[in-house]
Amino acid sequence: MKRILIVEDDPSIANLLKDYLELSGYAVTIAESGPEGLTALEESDAHDLVLLDIMLPGMGGFDVLKTIREKSDMPVLLVSARAEEIYKVNGFGLGADDYITKPFSSGELVARVNAHLNKYERMKERFGKEWESSKLVVRGLEVHKDSRRVIVSGKEVALAQKEFDLLTFLLQHANRVFDKETLFERVWGMDALGDASTVTVHIAKIREKIEDNPSKPQYIGTVWGSGYRFIV
């Protein structure tokens, strides 16, 4: 039985979500604040997906999401009454897998939970063992982490240090959208000199080297208004 963690400070909404999911066969835990949600995740590694409100006491949902992403790639679905685009962009940039706007139907909620859990399981089955190895292979693209070599369709291409690091990071978090600021922080480091605009330059250079048609990339895609993702 898959286990869902709901982090929601409104008891009526939390219990409604719990009822929806339990009727669909899920085991559900409720946390009423950001710190309580993180504690629940630290105390048990049995959770498979998190439904996370944005406006939470003690610690906001975005900060909770950022902390989760430092340790886990489990699906995290943001649930919020805020429908403004900036909230969605920020959420996806921090690594959210979906954004559900209140109010929503029980059918929509369960369908999205099912879809993300199924996709996560497929990813683990397809890439789990390979991701632990030193060689990553996707559709003719080979990334050799130990030797820092990149091979495309049997031909080796030369990538600069940060180009390689950026490609590897995106590949290891396939299908997840990251904004430029997050990529700069995760690849270059918080103390790096420069700004997030360098990410755009590096993405363009990587595409020139690994894509057949950089204007229509098959590996690194642009999610307009949100950032970039490696396409699997």
Instruction: Write out the residue limits of the CATH 3.40.50.2300 domain(s) in the chain.
Output: 3-125
What's the pLDDT at 195? 75
The neighbouring-strand residues paired with 178 are 228
**pTM exceeds 0.75:** no
Architecture of the domain delimited by 3-125: 3-Layer(aba) Sandwich (3.40)
Residue reference for tokens 């999401």: 65
**Domain with residues 133-230, CATH architecture:** Orthogonal Bundle (1.10)
Q: What local confidence, expressed as pLDDT, does residue 44 receive?
A: 67
**Mind listing the pLDDT tens digit for each residue in 136-149?**
888 889 998 878 89
Q: How confident is the model at residue 60 (pLDDT cuts 50, 70, 90)?
A: very high
Q: Where in the chain is the domain with CATH 1.10.10.10?
A: 133-230
Residue 46 has pLDDT above 60, yes or no: yes
Q: What band does 79 get if pLDDT is binned at 50, 70 and 90?
A: very high
What pLDDT sits at residue 24? 92
Mean pLDDT: which of 15-29, 97-111, 176-190 is highest?
Answer: 15-29
